[in-house]
Structure 1
Amino acid sequence: MTEIMGRKVQHRSESKLKLLRRLFFLTFGAILMAVGLEIFLIPNKVIDGGITGISIMLSHITGWSLGVFLFILNLPFFFMGYKQIGKTFAFSTLYGIVVLSVATVFLHPVPSLTNDVLLATVFGGITIGVGVGIVIRTGGSLDGTEILAILVNQKIPFSVGETIMFLNLFILGAAGFVFGWDRAMYSLIAYFIAYKTIDVVIQGLDESKSVWIISENYQEIGDAILARLGRGVTYLNGEGAYTGDDKRVIFCVITRLEEAKLKSIIEDHDPSAFLAVAGINEVRGGRFKKKDIH
C-alpha cells in the first residue's frame, strides 16, 4: 500500500513538473514572438503572415492595441481546435495567445532596436520563427491560420502547407495597400525567414534522415556504419522485380551532419551501391537519441 501511494505521489510530481515545463516554453515562445513583432517588424511597418498580419494591419488602421486584435481574431480558432484537434492543444494555444497579446501591449512603448528595414526584417523573422517553433514543439500554436488550414485540409485537395501559403499570399499582398509595396516585399522576406526558422527549431539542426542502401557488400557497409558512425542498422530481405534476385537492404537513421560521412563509407566499400536518403520529422525509441524540449 505504501509503495502504491509513493508511486501516485511521484506520478503527480512528474505531472506538475511536465505542466510547469510546458507553461515555461509556451510563455518563452510567445514572448519571443512579441519581441519580434514589437521590437523589429511593427516599428518598421513590416508584417508577419496569418492572423498576426491581419491584426497588425487592423491595429494600424484603427489605432487600437495589437494585443486586442490578436486575442479576438484568434479566439474562434481556439474553439475549433478544442472540438477538432484536442483539449491539450486548444488550451496550450489559448494560453500562448493570451501571453502573446499581453506581451505586445507591454512591449509596444519600447523603441525599435534598429531603423534599418532589412535588419529589422531579418532579425524579426528569426525571432518570430524561434518563438513560434518553440510553441509548436510544446504542443500549441500562436496563429489561428494553422488550425484553419488543418481543418479545411480535410475538405479540399491541398496540403496544410499549401493552404497556409495561399492564405498568406493574400494577407501579405494586402500589406501593399496599407504600408506600401516595398513593405509588402519586406514582409514576404520576413515571413520566409520565419517559416524556415520554424523548420529548424522543430526539426533541430541535427535533422534526422532515413537511409536505404542496397549492395552486395551489405555486411561490410553495415559493420562500417556501426564502427564509424555508431549507428545501429537493420538488414531487410528484398527481391529485385526485374531480375528476381534476392537482395539485402540496409536501413538506418542518421543526422544531417552524418550524411557526408555515410556516403564516404559507402564509397569506400561499394561505389556502385544503391543509396536513398529521405528526411524524417520525428524519431523515437531504439538506440537513436535526439534532444527534444518536451
Structure 2
Amino acid sequence: MLKKHIDTYYYIVRLFFILLGVVLASVGLEIFLIPNDIIDGGVVGISIMTSYLTNLPLGLFTFLLNVPFFILGYKQIGKTFAFLSAFSVVALSIGVSILKPIPGITHDILLASVFGGVILGIGVGLIIRNGGSLDGTEMVAIILDKRISFSIGEIVMFFNVFILTSAGFIFGWDRAMYSLITYFIEFKVIDIIVEGVDESKSVMIISDKHKDILSAINARLGRGVTILDGRGGYRGVQTNVLYTVVSRLEVSKLKRIVHDLDEKALVTIGNVEVAGKKYKKRAIH
C-alpha cells in the first residue's frame, strides 16, 4: 500500500514538472519566437511553418503531427514514455493556444532568439528530465538508435538541419540563421538541465537480487549487462556487481527498475565516453 502511494506521488511530481516545462516552452514559443518568425527544430518547427502557411492554429498542428509518433512510441518504447509525451504535447497545444492573443514582448530579433532559446530550453529540459518529450523526431531517433550506429543526438540533428533549412525558404534566410542561433542556445540549455540529449552513462549496481535486475534490464531496456565478481572491502563478503552502459534518456527508467526489485540496492551512475563502434541495444519486440 505504501509503495502504491509512493509511486502515485512520484508520478504526480513528474507531471507537475512536465507541466511547468510546458508553460515555459509555450512562453518561449508564443512570446518570443513566433512573433519574430523564428522557429524551433523538430515537429514543433514543422508545426510553426505549417501554421504560418495555412493560417491555422499552431496548437492544432503540434498535436496532429505528433499523433503518429505517440502510436509509434507506445509500441516501440513503452507506454509510460508515450503517455508522458502525449500529456506534454496536449498541454503544449493548449498552452500556445492560450498565449496566442498575447503580443510578443520584444521585436529585437537577437533578444528574441537568445531569450526564447533559453526559456524554451529550460522548458524542454524539464520535460525530458521527467520522462516526456515534445518532439516526435526524438521518439524516432530513440527507435532508430536501436537499429543503426548513429546516436540519438546525430539523428535529431539531421532532422533539424533539414527543418531549419526549410525555414529559410518560408521566412527568409536571416530568420533561418536566427533560428539556428536559437536552436544551439536551446540545445545547450537542455544539456545543462538534463546532462546531454544523448550522453552515455555507466551504471554499476550492487544487489542481492542481481539476477532479477539483470533479467529486467535485458527485457525492458534491451541493454547488455556485465557481471563482475566483487568482494566487500570491510567484511570481505563475495558479491556480484552489475555493469551496464545506457543513454541519458534511459537512466530514469533503469533506476525505477532497480528500485522496484530491490529498494536497498546500491546504484552508482557516471558519465562515460564510449569509444570505438557505438554500443548497440537489441531491438525489443
Structures share fold, TM-score greater than 0.5 = yes
Change over 3 Å in CA distance of 1:289–1:182 after alignment to 2: same
Report Cα offsets for 1:14-50 as digits up to 9, x if no partner. 2221121111111111111111100000000000000
- Whole-angstrom CA distance in 1 between matches of 2:142 and 2:268: 30
- Whole-angstrom CA distance in 2 between matches of 1:140 and 1:286: 26
**CA apart distance, 1:131:** 0.6
Matched, 1:198 2:190: yes
- Whole-angstrom CA distance in 1 between matches of 2:7 and 2:141: 31
Matched, 1:140 2:123: no
Q: How does 1:8-23 map to 2 (within 5 A)?
A: 8=1, 10-23=2-15
- Whole-angstrom CA distance in 2 between matches of 1:82 and 1:18: 21
Q: Which residue in the other structure is 1:42 paired with? A: 34
- Whole-angstrom CA distance in 2 between matches of 1:139 and 1:33: 16
- Whole-angstrom CA distance in 2 between matches of 1:154 and 1:136: 19
| Amino acid of the structure 2 residue aligned with 1:61 | L
Q: Which residue in the other structure is 1:219 paired with? A: none
- Whole-angstrom CA distance in 2 between matches of 1:23 and 1:150: 22
**CA apart distance, 1:289:** 11
Q: How does 1:1-294 map to 2 (within 5 A)?
A: 8=1, 10-203=2-195
User: Secondary structure of 1:112's partner?
Assistant: coil
- Whole-angstrom CA distance in 2 between matches of 1:74 and 1:286: 38
| Amino acid of the structure 2 residue aligned with 1:192 | F
Structure 2 residue ranges without an equivalent (≥5): 203-229, 231-246, 256-264, 271-285
State the number of aligned residues.
Answer: 212
Q: Which runs of 4+ in 1 moved over 4 A?
A: 280-290
Please, what is the CA RMSD of the aligned residues?
2.6
**CA apart distance, 1:97:** 0.4
User: Secondary structure of 2:44's partner?
Assistant: helix
- Whole-angstrom CA distance in 2 between matches of 1:95 and 1:198: 20
| Amino acid of the structure 1 residue aligned with 2:104 | S
- Whole-angstrom CA distance in 1 between matches of 2:155 and 2:115: 26
User: Secondary structure of 2:65's partner?
Assistant: helix
154-163 or 100-109, larger mean C-alpha shift = 154-163
- Whole-angstrom CA distance in 2 between matches of 1:203 and 1:57: 30
Q: Which has the larger radius of gyration?
A: 1
State the TM-score, normalizing by the size of structure 2.
Answer: 0.69
| Amino acid of the structure 1 residue aligned with 2:160 | N
- Whole-angstrom CA distance in 2 between matches of 1:75 and 1:143: 11
- Whole-angstrom CA distance in 2 between matches of 1:73 and 1:129: 21
Q: Which residue in the other structure is 1:225 paired with? A: none
| Amino acid of the structure 2 residue aligned with 1:91 | F
User: Secondary structure of 1:113's partner?
Assistant: coil
Change over 3 Å in CA distance of 1:11–1:195 after alignment to 2: same
Report Cα offsets for 1:196-234 as digits up to 9, x if no partner. 100100129xx9x99xxxxxxxxxxxxxxxxxxxxxxxx
**CA apart distance, 1:13:** 2.4
- Whole-angstrom CA distance in 1 between matches of 2:184 and 2:79: 30
- Whole-angstrom CA distance in 2 between matches of 1:202 and 1:64: 33
**CA apart distance, 1:163:** 1.0
Structure 1 residue ranges without an equivalent (≥5): 1-7, 211-235, 237-279
**CA apart distance, 1:150:** 1.4
Change over 3 Å in CA distance of 1:287–1:105 after alignment to 2: closer
Identity of aligned residues (%): 54
